[in-house]
Amino acid sequence: MKITYTGRQVELKPAQQKKLEAQFAKTGRLLDGKHEAEVHVTLSLERHLHNAEATINLYGHQIAGLGSDTDLFTAIHAAAEKLEKQAMKARAKWRDTKRTPRKEALNGAAEEAETPLEIAAEVAPPPSYRVYHVNHHERRKPMTLDEALIDIDGLDYLAYRDAQSDRLNILIRRRDGHFDLIEA
């Protein structure tokens, strides 16, 4: 990571620059990929307050950290910490958007498997479901609960319109042989 210092009414000694390079090294490790990032640190003094601004141009986006304190090094460390937080956020955002979808990952794992049994175990076809459509235009007469108990013979459930209340009811056969009635 290359660090460029610009001081307005402030000069840094080489020993101080060495300490600050160690501070920015962690941010550099977060951001350095195939190219080397450049940090521009601007130091200024306004009356008794030292201001430090650190900026990085990363893939066309500028990340900036600002710090101000009565002590110069505290201001620079605050700017470096803010810059590090923003770099971690940008890296996490980049990492999360570059992940592959789950289906493609499964296909890639199936190609790398050694035996056909492993392929069959890893990539099982999804179960096929069948949807039955009910004809709403078919006119059915309402029935009583006793008639519904007779009609449910051999079925797991039966939806019918009650003759007394003209509401939809569902009669469900339980595993123990008894019935549940859901009234709408």
Predicted pLDDT at 53: 92
**pLDDT higher than 70, residue 138:** no
Whether the Cβ atoms of residue 79 and residue 52 lie closer than 8 Å to each other: yes
Q: What is the pTM of this model?
A: 0.48
pLDDT digits (tens, 9 = 90+) for 19-69: 888 777 777 777 765 557 788 888 888 888 989 999 988 777 788 999 999
> Structural domains in the chain?
2-97 (3.30.160.100), 145-183 (3.30.505.50)
Contacts of 120 (CB under 8 A, 6+ apart): none
CB neighbourhood size of 75 (10 A) = 22
The confidence band for 12, taking pLDDT boundaries of 50, 70 and 90, is confident
Q: Which residues of 76-92 are buried (b: 16+ CB within 10 A; e: fewer)?
A: bbbbbbbbbebbeebee
Q: Report the mean per-residue pLDDT for the chain.
A: 78
